[in-house]
Amino acid sequence: MTNNPGYQRGELTVHTDPAELARVTRALRATGRRVHLVPTMGALHRGHLELIKRAKDANVVVVVSIFVNPLQFGPNEDFDRYPRQFEADVEACREAGVDLVFAPTVDAMYGGGRELSVQAGPLGEELEGATRKGHFDGMLTVVLKLLNIVRPDLAFFGEKDYQQLVLIRKMARQFNLDSQIQGIPTVRESDGLALSSRNVYLDEEQRRAALVISASLTAGAHAAVGGPEAVLKAAREVLATESLVQLDYLELRDPELGPAPETGEARLLVAAKVGSTRLIDNAMVLLGE
């Protein structure tokens, strides 16, 4: 791993020091270039590459962060076995035309101790937060640090982690951050399975079973003309057809994850375990239409 203090257009450089990366991106902005950030935890797949593709533009420097953030993993979660493939990720970034990779160590990000952190508030204790205590506090803390280090004009996040996206947007508004938060639609396999770094944990039978998760969202969306109860009923019926899938929650909310409206745009969210692997997905539905 290198920590190249310079930057030449068209050449990928890898940085590990937050202060050095901040200096480089500040210098780039001073020349009139825009800076776009794609935060990741590595194990890059086509979903990440789509974020990078959306981030690229004329006169834009694309920064990809690769950092498995320990703060957003609970004591019984998969931090130790979370897939790590740094060299392959850097090569994928190079092929995708990324300009800067930021790959700090845990010590570089939190070496001085963590006496303060962002609090996600009531929404951080619902849905994913109900079973992953402290997850969103840790996620928001690292995202705030990344935004402050890189100071991007735009930061790109996938809609698959929809609650995360909503909370990051709330944080950006309430903390008056300069960076704009750009959500990108979920990237899926041809059979509908949402791309996730955790899909590698699924064996063949589990992967087949996991398809009912996206199928339940499709069924719910098709039933939207009947209103909220019809959406949830249709989705539950599909999920019930697969015994290998253990439902955690299935909920319909408004776009900001408040109570679902009777008509108009809403968001259908699902979380389930397939074997020991926890998967999430969501879809927009138009109630009454």
Q: How far apart are the first and last CA of the chain?
A: 53
Binding positions for beta-alanine: 72
Q: Which residue has the higher pLDDT, 283 or 112?
A: 283
Q: Which listed residue (15, 36, 48, 135) is catalytic?
A: 48
On whether the CB atoms of residues 64 and 38 are closer than 8 A, the answer is: yes
Annotated binding site for (R)-pantoate: 72, 164
Nearest 5°: the CA angle 108, 114, 116 is: 130
> Against a cut of 0.85, is the pTM above it?
yes
Cα–Cα dist 260/160, whole Å: 19
Q: What's the average model confidence in pLDDT over 75-82?
A: 82
pLDDT of residue 10: 57
Confidence band (pLDDT; 50, 70, 90) for 78? confident
- What confidence score (pLDDT) does residue 6 get? 45
Q: Is residue 99 within 8 Å of residue 12, measured between CB atoms?
A: yes
What is the structure's pLDDT at 255? 98
Averaged pLDDT, 121-147 = 96
Write the CA distances from 136 to 100, 159, 166, integer angstroms. 26, 16, 11
Annotated binding site for ATP, which residues? 41-48, 158-161, 187, 195-198
Structure tokens of 190?
């041809």
Spatial strand order in the sheet of 245-253: 245-253, 264-274, 277-287
The pLDDT confidence band at residue 74, using thresholds 50, 70 and 90, is confident
pLDDT tens-place string over residues 15-68: 999 999 999 999 999 999 999 999 999 999 999 999 999 999 999 999 999 999
- Where do the domains of the chain lie, and which CATH numbers do they carry? 13-184 (3.40.50.620), 199-287 (3.30.1300.10)
More confident residue, 3 or 11: 11
Q: Which of 109-123, 150-164, 248-262 has the lowest mean pLDDT?
A: 109-123
Task: Look over the chain and give the mean of its residue pLDDT values, rounded to a whole number.
Answer: 94
Binding region: 41-48, 72, 158-161, 164, 187, 195-198
The answer on pLDDT for 7 being more than 70 is no
Half-sphere exposure of 189 (CA within 13 A, CB side): 15
In this prediction, residue 83 carries a pLDDT of 87
Summarised one tens digit per residue, pLDDT across range 221-246 is 999 999 999 999 999 999 999 999 99
Query: Mean pLDDT over residues 134-153, rounded?
Result: 97
135 is catalytic: no
Using alpha carbons only, give the angle 110, 111, 114 rounded to the nearest 5 degrees: 50
- pLDDT tier, 8 (very low <50, low <70, confident <90, very high otherwise): very low
Give residue 1's pLDDT. 45
What does the pLDDT read at residue 233? 98
Instruction: Give percent above pLDDT 70 in the chain.
Output: 96
Band of residue 215 on the pLDDT scale cut at 50, 70, 90: very high
81 vs 266, residue with greater confidence: 266
